[in-house]
Amino acid sequence: MTKETIHINCDLGEGGEFDEKLMPLISACNIACGGHAGNLETMHKTVRLALENNAEIGAHPSYPDRANFGRNHVEMTAEELKLSIEGQVLSLKQIVESEGGKLSHVKLHGALYNDAAKDRSISEIVMEILEDYGDDLRLFVPLNSQLGELALGRFELFHEAFADRNYEKNYGLVPRSKSHAIIEDREMVFHHVRSIYKENKILLQNGEFLKAQADTFCVHSDTPSAVQILQYLQRKLAAENIYIKS
């Protein structure tokens, strides 16, 4: 039987208490770089932890809105948004290089991630910033998004699915305000991931399916029992000869 690998990422350096336990279980980390969370100290600490565990290191920029953890839309001019994202990515890139590593990718956070999925003007700003880095950075993009469509052929893309979140029929995530937004049961997470990975489909709450092909799966570090979910995924996937890429 051919050994298969699955790529799993996690948003870290956000002030959570389980970063040290999560890092060995994942393929890549997306490090908060000052917008919604994070500072120079946490960035250095999380980068070192990633290097110790051979995890890919990505920048996780957001709207500059620490009060709401970057989960609310912020009205900004195009120039203000550009400068904010540029500053966050560059800050982490310099820290990664100072620690002897290399920045591998960029993944937007929260409301900025969701806005770029449907707003072409925001996606254009992201493209303009990342083009300064040439071919050095991979971009994590939402499924069926404006950002992914615009970046196709311009960057190496990883289409991302969320292991611990339910979806709506437009490929958007169920809002966190709804009770069924987050998948906390580890067995349900496994079946959700397996369905996308093996069958290329997302099961919706109404029983319908969406076509989906993902290159990476995210488990949120602030999801309750995230460590246990990842440990369970590791065991269940390995039983099917699928291993988390490291």
Residue 1 has pLDDT above 70, yes or no: no
pLDDT at 90: 97
Q: Please name every residue paired with 81 in a beta bridge, in sequence order, or none if there are none.
A: none
pLDDT > 90: percent of the chain: 91
pLDDT at 147: 96
Predicted local distance difference test score (pLDDT) of residue 97: 98
Task: For residue 159, give Cα distances in angstroms to 7, 17, 107, 178, 214.
Answer: 11, 28, 11, 25, 5
230 contacts 219 by C-beta, under 8 angstroms: yes
> What's the domain count of the chain?
1
**pLDDT tens readout for residues 186-245:** 999 999 999 999 999 999 988 999 999 999 999 999 888 999 999 999 999 999 999 999
| Per-residue model confidence (pLDDT) at position 8 | 98
For 83-109, what is the mean pLDDT?
A: 98
**pTM across the whole model:** 0.96
Cα-Cα-Cα-Cα torsion 192, 137, 82, 99, nearest 10 degrees, comes to 100
Q: What average pLDDT score do residues 57-75 get?
A: 97
The enclosing domain of 230 has a CATH number of 3.20.20.370
Tell me the average pLDDT across 13-18: 95
Greatest distance between any 2 Cα atoms in the chain? 54
**What are the pLDDT digits (tens) for 137-196?**
999 999 999 999 999 999 999 999 999 999 999 999 999 999 999 999 999 999 999 999
Q: What is the mean pLDDT of the chain?
A: 96
Based on its alpha-carbon atoms, the radius of gyration of the chain, rounded to whole angstroms, reads 17
Q: What is the pLDDT of residue 132?
A: 85
Other beta carbons less than 10 A from residue 154's beta carbon: 12
Q: What is the pLDDT of residue 84?
A: 98
Q: What is the pLDDT of residue 200?
A: 98
Confidence of residue 134 (pLDDT cuts 50, 70, 90): confident
Is residue 9 within 8 Å of 26, Cβ to Cβ?
yes
User: Considering only CA atoms, which of 118, 34, 47 is closest in space to residue 83?
Assistant: 34
Mean pLDDT value of segment 21-45: 98
Q: Six-digit token pair at 77?
A: 């001019």
Is pLDDT at 133 greater than 90 in this prediction?
no
The predicted model gives 61-83 an average pLDDT of: 97
Quote the domain boundaries for residue 190: 4-244
Mean pLDDT confidence for 69-88: 97
